[in-house]
Amino acid sequence: MAVLNRAAKAQPDTKTPDDFLFAPLLSGVGKTMLHVLLLSVGAVYVFPFLWMVGSAFKTNNEFFTLGLNPFPATLQVDNFRKAWEGANFSRYFFNTVFISVTVTLIVLLLTSMAGYALARLRMPGKRYLLIAIGVLFFLPAGYTIIPVIEIVRGLGLMNTIWAVIVTSVAGGMLFNTFLFVGYMRSIPPELEEAAVIDGASLWQRYWLVVLPLSRPMIATVGLFTFMSNWNAFFGPLVFTLGKPELRTLAVGMYAFQGQNSRDWVLMCMGATISILPIILVYVVLQRFFIEAFAGAVKN
């Protein structure tokens, strides 16, 4: 018994400095204070958005008299019609959806194919190609805009919606290809070898074996690509400058701000129309987004 007591006393204290640092937060009072702090910080971030949405349904007079009060005295639903029809936001919305969906689908197909080729196939100069892709990824977009414009003009795509799509696809190839290369290298090659024994071709191995196993990365790349193109401003601004009807929501909001600089209520409504859809998409797909990101990090 004495031996056991001495052994217990001899055991080192396994508590770390973090245990003493965060010990007050583990108590009931500490948790309450932590929750209050987090809710306060969250309210600071959420309030501007709530104020914008509330101001979108105010009158011009209420916008100035109510100040920071986000709740309108009288709900002006007609403001939505004025911004949707009068400011042509319906067209901007369709352009944004079409560009974002098209670019996302093309980027997923091309980057997954390129990632599979670079991860699995033997080709001369593959290492140098990966180095070149990495160097180009860090090249600022502003330095390449003039040659890109010349290429688009040479293709006859200037002032068309396809100019935005082609340049957005090209811009999304580099980093996303790297992501697919890293993920597909983690897939056991024995699965493809079994498919080869069953007579599967190269395309069948990619389409039926590797691509289904890459669903976490497909979801990650797809969501990031869609969100980045929904919020894109510089590219759509440059390539739709000559045709206002081709503007996206981001560019349309910028032009609407200049044309209606005194109509603050309609500006808030235009911003609400621009932001709400992407927030709804994230809320609906939040679970898939987190699972995809966790799977990508894990692998």
Report the chain's terminal Cα–Cα distance, integer Å.
50
- pLDDT score recorded for residue 204: 92
- pLDDT score recorded for residue 102: 96
Taking the chain (299 residues) in runs of 10, the rounded mean pLDDT of each run is: 47 50 59 86 89 90 86 87 83 92 95 91 83 76 81 89 93 88 88 89 91 86 88 88 86 70 79 83 69 55
Under a CB-based contact definition with an 8 Å cutoff, are residues 55 and 264 in contact? Answer: yes
Please, what are the domains in the chain? Answer: 16-81 (no CATH), 86-298 (1.10.3720.10)
- pLDDT score recorded for residue 162: 93
- pLDDT score recorded for residue 288: 62
Determine the angle formed by the axes of helices 249-259 and 264-284, rounding to 10 degrees: 170
- pLDDT score recorded for residue 4: 42
Task: Report how far apart, in Å, the C-alpha atoms of 103 and of each of 39, 192, 219 are.
Answer: 37, 29, 14
- Kindly report the three-state secondary structure assignment for every residue of the chain: CHHHHHHHHHCCCCCCHHHHHHHHHHCHHHHHHHHHHHHHHHHHHHHHHHHHHHHCCCCHHHHHHCCCCCCCCCCCCHHHHHHHHHCCHHHHHHHHHHHHHHHHHHHHHHHHHHHHHHHHCCCCCHHHHHHHHHHHHCCCHHHHHHHHHHHHHHCCCCCCHHHHHHHHHHHCHHHHHHHHHHHHHCCCHHHHHHHHHCCCCHHHHHHHHHHHHCHHHHHHHHHHHHHHHHCCCHHHHHHCCCCHHHCCHHHHHHHHHHHCCCCHHHHHHHHHHHHHHHHHHHHHCHHHHHHHHHHHHHC
- pLDDT score recorded for residue 227: 87
pLDDT digits 0-9 by tens, 206-253: 999 999 988 888 888 888 898 899 989 888 988 888 788 898 988 888
Q: What type of residue is 48?
A: P
> What distance in Å separates the CA atoms of residue 257 and residue 41, rounded to the nearest whole number?
29
- pLDDT score recorded for residue 289: 62
Look up residue 168 and give its two tokens. Answer: 């957005």
Under a CB-based contact definition with an 8 Å cutoff, are residues 267 and 94 in contact? Answer: no
Under a CB-based contact definition with an 8 Å cutoff, are residues 226 and 107 in contact? Answer: no
Sign of the CA dihedral 49, 51, 55, 58?
positive
Burial string for 47-76 (b: 16+ CB within 10 Å, else e) reads eeeebbbbbbbbeeebbeebeeebebeeeb
- pLDDT score recorded for residue 222: 86
The neighbour count for residue 171, using CB atoms within 10 Å, is 20
> What distance in Å separates the CA atoms of residue 86 and residue 276, rounded to the nearest whole number?
19
Under a CB-based contact definition with an 8 Å cutoff, are residues 165 and 102 in contact? Answer: yes
Q: How many CA atoms does the CB half-sphere of 151 hold within 13 Å? A: 11
Task: Report how far apart, in Å, the C-alpha atoms of 36 and of each of 20, 21, 24, 25, 135 are.
Answer: 22, 19, 15, 12, 46
> What distance in Å separates the CA atoms of residue 142 and residue 146, rounded to the nearest whole number?
8
- pLDDT score recorded for residue 210: 92
